[in-house]
């Protein structure tokens, strides 16, 4: 036992132990007692580290990829993943989440495919790309969140003369570690060249509190586009209500909305939680640490983060990773909108969620 | 046993039986065998009958009540219930539902109270009255649905120089038969004289697919106003999508939306289902009968109903009752919008729902 | 309004009001303001009253029925209902529950039928009758609870030379008021003449915590026989554990178990809760009142009840009804086992449950 | 893009691409297009391989550890993990599951601790050890399953003069990869030296279909001991019922029961499914592959497995691992009882479950 390691032993005992461990290895066995603390730590010790990726560095690299790397069948997407420096060799932004910048040049098409990995797109800036989700043409514009739930066919096409870039979020590391990934190529022809102002999903599901009488519940949201216009209004209204004394903000000066599945009221995606936060200038959020990890992108404004022992200055477009059980707080230099996604639904579904600190969460 | 009733019996036997039944009665007992078919029919035999109430008759009577009957503490509301002629002596529109026209004169106030009965208002026409729901001032306008979930304080005040009438729907008969009603008077002073364009509930919950991060699930909808503008758009969009080949209407030429609780995706109220239907001119709905009852009001347009053996011509404002397990179909003379509420959530919660016919329901 | 009723009115007003009320009646309308307090009381005012039925009176009457009334198709069952004296003309034991004594003579058969009404049998004493539930032959013995969930075919046959009596419990009043009853006669031939020690349901579902891997969830319990041997042991164990300091009894000296559906852990029946209580001699239960009603039968022992304003002495076999929101307490003269069934699952499913007092319920 | 890799490129392009990839690496970025197929395979490609561990080899090694390695605080348990040869360096039996043989000498004590990892013990043979689960002394005997749900304190003590070995199953790899592990040492003194025939958990929860009225639902089973006597009877009854024509076996000649949480009817543990299978001599199970992995131990009998491309002869005590999406079938040489645990509840909770083949699963 580890507690006895420092005690003197007779040579015979040492030899016997060595031989035992050799025999364990030959039999595909490993003793618990030599690695108990590593396997079962007192609290999570994530391999992933707090990390930031600057938009000012990401976007030019994506542009260079746009010039050098074609997009098409096989590689499928011109997406460049944020690889956490604590997890060498794997393109994992955190233990469970994959984030990337995707870039599509003028009139380019990213071909149709589907996979059990759950995905979304979030648009920092620009417009002109459409994502067809199971044949439904969905416009992508500044501040919009677009979903491609697991196993729905999706493809992107840029109908303009300008390139466009956005953020992809997926649960690739989770699905990889769970050996649960399936993948299928779709048709090579675009399923739809339409460019409607509103997708079918918005027409059927985008009316607050109303659902088609015959529509059954769905595990993921049937509404696949959440427009900035609504998100912005919801945050503004929430802060206004708080000014009138209604306690629905996360904490004073900090509003947040969650993107939900209108058939259940729960998270829009099964394995990924997505939220938009608005923190008023000068406000610091209450430090919080939670089991599970998150990735954030500053949508607008500037601020300062504290993630574990590390602190960063961040501005519009910057992304950062918050590993499991790592204390996090954000101070807004001026009014700041921050897009956040996390793996919390996974932990809640398995009874593994735990939070320490934070404002009422 | 009933099967033996017609057989000759010896006088002694008859006398013995008479004495037995007398002794049963004296002991507060009743034999099953003499009333089995009445107690346990082959299919529901509702006491309530198909019935229609004409707006052209209702509104003038409500006006006369407005002149003759004050509104205030005690009687509480100038509401006149639709009493099903099949259920004598009780103001029940169906076995479980209570519907009424409520009328509020210029600058009148209906005082605050709360009850475990679940309630809503639906506005056929007019505006100028506010309902305060737990202190939140909610505007009432044409086509709007307003909720007052069980045990929320509510009061009405008319801020204009004109009277206004609307429809109340409650589960009074259900709660009455279940001996589950509690009631409490609120303060005599108005909780709020505010007349905001949007209620707090709409500001916090009226953004499609978005919810405040800290808000917990609620058994009834926290969104207490569903505006006609959204309902109308949802119906129009649903019919347009159907024209494009998407099968989300109830049946061809018949769209319908359900009012839901955004925290769960389920019915907005716990015991009452509420829907708006749009049937295109010339379309007849597929006949359907279901366990449970419904009340409809024609919001716009004209049509013809078949309810059981009875048929009615109906137009704007007319209300009608469809008892349990009574076949129902509607033919629209011209484009017709029909507001519907029913007790289906009760039957679904108890595993008692059953449907025969209808289009895909 | 009622608050103004005592004020003097001009004759014209009175005449106008009379005419208005006459016109209301002609139009199938009823004003709320004259009956608000009746329709929406401050707290439930059940029509049913606290009532007791003595086994010493019930059993002889059932015996006389056994001599005078044949059992067979049409009347179906020789069951005699406990009719609450507060609900005249209807065989309702409470607002939602129907209880009866059923009597089957030597070698008699009660024919097969099924209905949406949920039912159970509880055996005070005796044996020798089998209930076939969807063809599964289920022995009935002292202290056993047997289920016939809604829409399962069931028939009874007495294989002995002695009569047998037991208690039936159903939700007939609830289903009646909800217009939700369907009924079907089964084959006239017995589905099974088998008399096995254990039913199939017990063989498949009667092993604690174990379920057949392929068996899906069921809304009602697939285990249709709960044997006294297990119920007795569970109560004894619960009291023993309490003696050792584990707080799982209802209150000191008062153990209780609930009969549950092993596929869900919830009530064995969808609309009826069933429990067995053991109260040690000298113990008084904490007074409690709850929305919803209950019927009890003393299985063994003697005690004294307080139900609302009424108090009763009760002994083995006696049944009594506890209406909604009526305060109830029981004092055991000596060790007392009491079988209880109630409609609480109905109120819980609809969000209408409310309790006042009691020990930790 | 991978589809273009074989095409000739100009030297400049190649150089540009090399520089781009270098700059990606420097910026903690990884392109998707060079590793898409690895990250998102067409179907799961588990690292874990089909593997078997022989009891004839395991037990002697555990015995030798018993002689050479003390058990006590720090190392905590004399448990030797089955390390899948496809996952080098980690003691993972599959991607999510950890299985080990644990050995406790005469009068030894394994000290108290708790962790968020979910655990169980299964006893191939022997007796004399007690596991205290949150202070409840639970006997361990042949064929028994004992639970220690996440975050419950547990300790083992051998009260006899003979050693005892058993199998431990935990979700260590899952919790490790999710960074969700918390761990706490308990008191050094035994919480209980009692050696009762039945644990408190069995006395409160071990009665079929009965639950203490006041006991709330629990995420894991409050029943922490499932005795072989019940498991054996349930399997025998299930096969007998099948002989009588009731289709509740998995397939002809193959019975199986699942260990469940009596408060919910769902899996006894939140992240691990546990079952016992009985396959009659000569029967082959229908080949099946499913997302997620399983570990089996032959409890009695002999047979032949096919796992993917590999086949094994197995006998009493042998353990084997079935990785995700690997086809599996078992042929019983003679009557065979096989204990199985898997991670299926994880996939079901996340909507990632998928099955191909098998008999009705």
Residue of D200, D206, D209 to mutate for C, most C C-beta atoms under 10 A: D209
Question: In whole angstroms, what is the distance from residue C85 CA to residue C100 CA?
Answer: 15
For the cut 90, the answer to whether the pLDDT of residue C246 exceeds it is no
The C-alpha atoms of residue D208 and residue D201 are separated, in whole angstroms, by 13
How far from B301 is each of A179, A312, A330, B278, CA to CA, in Å?
57, 63, 56, 10
Asked if D145 and D201 count as a contact pair (C-beta separation under 8 A), the reply is no
Residues in chain D: 361
Q: Would you call B200 and A260 a contact, using CB atoms and an 8 Å cutoff?
A: no
Q: How far is CA D112 from CA C48, D163, D192, in A?
A: 57, 19, 11
Provide the pLDDT for residue B361.
Answer: 46
Report residue D292 CA to chain centroid gap. 11
Distance CA A134, CA A155 (A): 9
Judge contact between D330 and D256, C-beta under 8 A.
no
Is C264 part of the contact surface with chain D (CB cutoff 8 Å)? Answer: yes
Q: How far apart are CA B154 and CA B163, in angstroms?
A: 19
Query: In the structure, what pLDDT confidence band is assigned to residue D12 with cuts at 50, 70 and 90?
Result: confident
CB of A80 within 8 Å of a chain D CB? The answer is yes
For residue A216, tell me if it sits in a domain.
Answer: no
**Confidence tier at D290 by pLDDT (50, 70, 90):** very high
What count of residues does chain A have?
Answer: 361
Is the minimum CB–CB distance between B290 and chain C shorter than 8 Å? Answer: no
Q: Are residues C201 and C70 in the same domain?
A: yes
Q: Does A133 touch chain B (CB under 8 A)?
A: no
With an 8 Å Cβ cutoff, is D275 touching chain C? yes
Among C28, C323, C350, beta carbon nearest to B85: C28
Look up the CATH number of the domain holding residue B296: 2.60.120.10
Q: Rounded to the nearest 10 degrees, what angle do helices D55-68 and A11-26 cross at?
A: 160
Residue A209 is nearest to which of B215, B256, B260, comparing CB atoms? B260
Among A205, A237, A267, identify where a domain stops.
A205
pLDDT, one tens digit per residue, over D304-344 is 999 999 999 999 999 999 999 999 999 999 999 999 999 99
Provide the 10 A C-beta neighbour count for residue B50: 23
Chain C nearest-CA distance from D144, in A, is 13
In a domain, C258, yes or no: yes
Q: What is the pLDDT of residues B58-96, one digit of tens each?
A: 999 999 999 999 998 888 899 999 999 999 999 999 999
D208 has a chain C CB within 8 A of its CB? yes
Q: CA-CA distance, A345 to A347, in Å (whole number)?
A: 6
- What percent of chain C shows pLDDT beyond 70? 97
CA distance B117 to A227: 37
Q: Are A52 and A312 in contact (CB under 8 A)?
A: yes
As a whole-number percent, the residues of chain D with pLDDT over 70 amount to: 97
pLDDT of residue D247: 74
Whether residues D169 and D278 share a domain: the answer is no
> A-chain residues within 8 Å CB-CB of B338?
none
Strands D154-158 and D145-148: unpaired
Helix (H) or strand (E) holding C68: helix C55-68
C182 and C278 in a single domain? The answer is: no
Closest to C274 in 3D by CA, of C323, C203, C225, C326 = C225
Given an 8 Å threshold on Cβ–Cβ distance, is C262 in contact with D360?
A: no
User: What residues in D contact C248, CB-CB < 8 Å?
Assistant: 204, 212, 214-215
Inter-chain CB proximity C80 and B351 less than 8 Å: no
Residue A138 near residue A173, CB atoms below 8 Å? no
Q: In this complex, is the C-beta atom of A259 within 8 Å of any C-beta atom belonging to chain B?
A: yes
Q: How far apart are CA D326 and CA D50, in angstroms?
A: 8
Interchain pair A91, D179: CB under 8 A: no
CA distance A93 to chain D (A): 9
φ, ψ (nearest 5 deg) of residue A109? -130, 135
How many Å lie between the alpha carbon of C328 and the closest alpha carbon of chain D?
A: 17
Element (H, E) at A124: none
Is residue C208 less than 8 Å (CB to CB) from chain D? yes
Of D210, D258, D265, the CB nearest to C257: D210
Per-residue DSSP letter, B321: E
For the residues D44-70, what does the mean pLDDT come to? 97
C215 contact partners, CB below 8 Å, separation of at least 6: C204, C222, C263, D248
| Least Cα separation, residue B289 to chain A (angstroms) | 16
Are C195 and C141 a contacting pair, CB within 8 Å?
Answer: no
Do C250 and C198 belong to one domain? no
Eight-state DSSP code of residue B286: P
The answer to whether position B6 is within a domain reads: no
Same-domain status, A259 and A308:
yes
| Look-up of token digits 């058994």 | B219
> Rounded distance, CA A104 to CA A98, Å?
19
φ/ψ (deg, to 5) at A12:
-60, -45
Is B248 near chain A, with CB under 8 Å? yes
Q: Please check the confidence at residue A357 and state whether its pLDDT lies above 50.
A: yes
The pLDDT value given to residue A7: 53
Domain that includes residue C134, residue range: 51-205
Which residues between 36 and 65 in chain A have a beta carbon less than 8 angstroms from any beta carbon of chain D?
36, 39-48, 51, 53, 57-58, 61, 64-65
CA triple A304-A308-A314, angle to 5 deg: 20
Collect all residues of chain A within an 8 Å Cβ-Cβ radius of residue B241: 200, 203-204
Other CB atoms within 10 Å distance of the CB of residue B226: 29
Q: Neighbours of D (≥3 Cβ pairs closer than 8 A)?
A: A, C
The answer to whether residues A180 and A234 belong to one domain is no
Tell me if there are at least 3 CB pairs under 8 Å linking chains A and D: yes
Q: Write the burial class of residue B126 (CB in 10 Å: 0-12 exposed, 13-18 middle, 19+ buried).
A: middle
Per-residue model confidence (pLDDT) at position B235: 98
Start-to-end CA distance of chain A, whole Å, equals 41
Q: C275–D213: do the CB atoms touch at under 8 Å?
A: yes
Assess C24–B contact: CB distance below 8 Å, yes or no: yes
From B118's Cα to the closest Cα of chain A, the distance in A is: 18
Domain's final residue, options B205, B238, B258:
B205
Searching chain B, which residue's CA lies closest to the CA of residue A269? B209
Chain B residues near residue C64 by CB distance under 8 angstroms: 16, 20, 23
What is the number of alpha carbons within 13 Å of residue D80 lying toward its C-beta? 26
At residue C1 the predicted structure's pLDDT band, cuts being 50, 70 and 90, is very low
Residue B31 domain-assigned (yes or no) = no
* Whether D249 contacts chain C with CB within 8 A: yes
How far does the CA of residue C74 sit from the closest CA of chain B (Å)? 6
Query: What ipTM was estimated for this complex?
Result: 0.95
Sequence length of chain B is 361
B210 domain residue, yes or no = no
The alpha-helical segments, DSSP class H, found in C207-341 are 228-243
Q: Is residue A66 part of a domain?
A: yes
CA dist., res. D228 & res. A139, Å (int): 60
Distance from D73 to chain C by nearest Cα, in Å? Answer: 30
Q: So what's the pLDDT on residue C222?
A: 97
Interior angle at CA C319, CA C314 and CA C321, nearest 5: 105
Share of chain A above pLDDT 90, in %: 91
The pLDDT of residue A360 is 56
Within a domain: residue C130?
yes
The arrangement of strands across the sheet holding B294-300 comes to A210-212, B254-259, B273-279, B336-342, B294-300, B319-322, B51-53
Any chain D CB within 8 A of the CB of A95? Answer: yes
CB nearest to D32's CB, from A35, A81, A351: A81
Average pLDDT value over all residues in chain C: 95
Q: Spell out which residues of chain C touch residue B15, defining contact as CB-CB under 8 Å.
A: none
Q: Do residues D55 and D317 touch, judged by C-beta distance below 8 A?
A: yes
pLDDT 10s digit of each residue in chain B, 361 long?
444 444 556 788 889 999 999 999 999 999 999 999 999 999 999 999 999 999 999 999 999 999 999 998 888 899 999 999 999 999 999 999 999 999 999 999 999 999 999 999 999 999 999 999 999 999 999 999 999 999 999 999 999 999 999 999 999 999 999 999 999 999 999 999 999 999 999 999 999 999 999 999 999 999 999 999 999 999 999 999 998 887 789 999 999 999 999 999 999 999 999 999 999 999 999 999 999 999 999 999 999 999 999 999 999 999 999 999 999 999 999 999 999 999 999 999 999 999 999 875 4
In this complex, do D40 and A115 lie within 8 Å of one another by their Cβ atoms?
Answer: yes
What average pLDDT does range A204-216 have in this prediction?
96
pLDDT at residue D72 is higher than 50: yes
Nearest to A211 among B214, B217, B260 (CB): B260
Nearest CA in chain B to A200: B241
Using alpha carbons, select from D319, D278, D327, D313 the residue that is nearest to residue D295: D319
C76 to B20: CB separation less than 8 angstroms, yes or no: no
- CA of A174 to nearest chain B CA: how many angstroms apart? 24
DSSP output for C104-156: E-TT-EEEEEEESS-EEEE-SS-EEEEEEETTEEEEEETT-EEEE-TT--EEE
Written in H, E and C, the secondary structure of chain D is CHHHCCCCCCHHHHHHHHHHHHHHHHCCEEECCCCHHHHCCCCCCCCCCCEEECHHHHHHHHHHHHHHCCCCCCCCCCEEEECCCCCCCCCCCCCCCEEEEEEECCCCEEEEEEECCCEEEECCCCEEEEEEECCEEEEEECCCEEEECCCCCEEEEECCCCCEEEEEEECHHHHHHCCCCCEEECCCCCCCCCCCCCCHHHHHHCCCCEEECCCCCCCCCCCCEECHHHHHHHHHHHHHHHHCCCCCCCECCEEEEEEECCCCCCECCCCCEEEEEEECCCCECCCEEECCCEEEEEEECCEEEEECCEEEEECCCCEEEECCCCCEEEEECCCEEEEEEECHHHHHHHCCCCEEECCCC
Cα of A98 vs its chain's centroid, Å? 6
Domain co-membership, C97 together with C166: yes
Tokens 């209408």 sit on residue: C352
At D129-139, the pLDDT tens digits run 999 999 999 99
Nearest residue in A to B340, CA atom? A213
Q: Residue D84's closest CA among D46, D120, D57?
A: D46
Query: Domain check: are A352 and A233 in the same one?
Result: yes
Residues C176 and C268 in one domain: no
Does D7 have pLDDT greater than 80? no
Q: How far is A248 from chain D (nearest CA, A)?
A: 29
- Enumerate the β-bridge partners of residue D219: none
Backbone angles phi and psi of C307, in degrees to 5: -125, 110
Structure tokens belonging to residue C157: 């046959």
Instruction: Record the tokens describing residue A241, joined without a space.
Output: 């209500």
Identify whether A162 is part of a domain: yes
pLDDT of D77 strictly over 50 = yes
Mutation to test the C interface, candidates B32, B76, B83, B184, most C Cβ within 10 Å: B32
For C302-344, write each residue's pLDDT tens digit. Answer: 999 999 999 999 999 999 999 999 999 999 999 999 999 999 9
For residue B37, give the DSSP letter.
H
The pLDDT tens digits of the residues spanning A86-142 come to 999 999 999 999 999 999 999 999 999 999 999 999 999 999 999 999 999 999 999
* Chain D residues within 8 A of A44 when measuring between CB atoms: 179-182
- In this predicted structure, the answer to whether residue A73 has a pLDDT above a threshold of 90 is no
**Subunit contact C181:B64, Cβ cutoff 8 A:** no
Section D296-303 average pLDDT: 98
**Distance, CA of C274 to CA of B65 (rounded, Å):** 50
Domain count, chain A: 2
> Residue B137 is inside which H or E element, if any?
strand B136-141
> In this model, does residue D43 exceed pLDDT 50?
yes
Is residue D153 located within the same domain as residue D178? yes
Are D35 and D63 found together in one domain? no
A157 and A292 co-located in one domain: no
Residue B101 pLDDT: 98
Rounded to a whole number of angstroms, the distance from the CA of C219 to the nearest CA of chain B is: 8
């Amino acid at each position: 036992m580890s507690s006895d390691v420092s005690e003197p032993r007779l040579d015979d005992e040492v030899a016997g132990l060595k031989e035992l461990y050799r025999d364990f290895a030959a039999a595909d066995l490993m003793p618990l007692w030599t690695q108990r603390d590593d396997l079962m730590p007192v609290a999570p010790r994530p391999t992933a580290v707090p990390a930031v990726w600057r938009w000012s560095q990401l976007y030019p690299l994506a542009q260079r990829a746009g010039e050098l790397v074609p997009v098409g069948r096989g590689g499928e997407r011109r997406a460049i993943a944020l690889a956490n420096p604590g997890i060498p060799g794997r393109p994992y932004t955190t233990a469970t989440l994959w984030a990337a910048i995707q870039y599509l040049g003028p009139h380019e098409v990213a071909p149709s495919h589907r996979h059990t990995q759950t995905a979304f797109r979030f648009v920092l800036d620009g417009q002109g790309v459409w994502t067809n989700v199971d044949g439904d043409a969905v416009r992508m514009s500044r501040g919009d969140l677009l979903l491609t739930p697991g196993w729905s066919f999706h493809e992107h096409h840029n109908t303009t003369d300008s390139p466009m870039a956005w953020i992809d979020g997926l649960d690739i590391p989770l699905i990889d570690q769970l050996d649960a990934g399936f993948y299928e190529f779709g048709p090579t022809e675009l399923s739809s060249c339409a460019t409607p102002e509103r997708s079918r999903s918005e027409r059927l599901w985008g009316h607050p509190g109303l659902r088609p009488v015959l529509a059954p519940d769905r595990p993921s949201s049937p509404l696949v586009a959440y427009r900035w216009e609504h998100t912005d209004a919801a945050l503004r209204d929430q802060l206004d209500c708080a000014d009138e004394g209604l306690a629905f903000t996360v904490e004073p000066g900090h509003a947040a909305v969650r993107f939900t599945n209108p058939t259940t009221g729960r998270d829009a995606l099964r394995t990924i939680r997505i939220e938009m936060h608005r923190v008023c200038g000068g406000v610091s959020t209450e430090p919080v640490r939670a089991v599970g990890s998150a990735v954030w992108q500053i949508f607008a404004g500037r601020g300062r983060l504290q993630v574990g022992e590390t602190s960063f200055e961040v501005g519009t477009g910057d992304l950062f990773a918050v590993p499991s059980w790592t204390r996090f707080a954000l101070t807004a230099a001026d009014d700041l909108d921050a897009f956040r996604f996390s793996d919390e639904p996974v932990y809640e579904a398995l009874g593994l969620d735990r939070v320490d600190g934070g404002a009422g969460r």
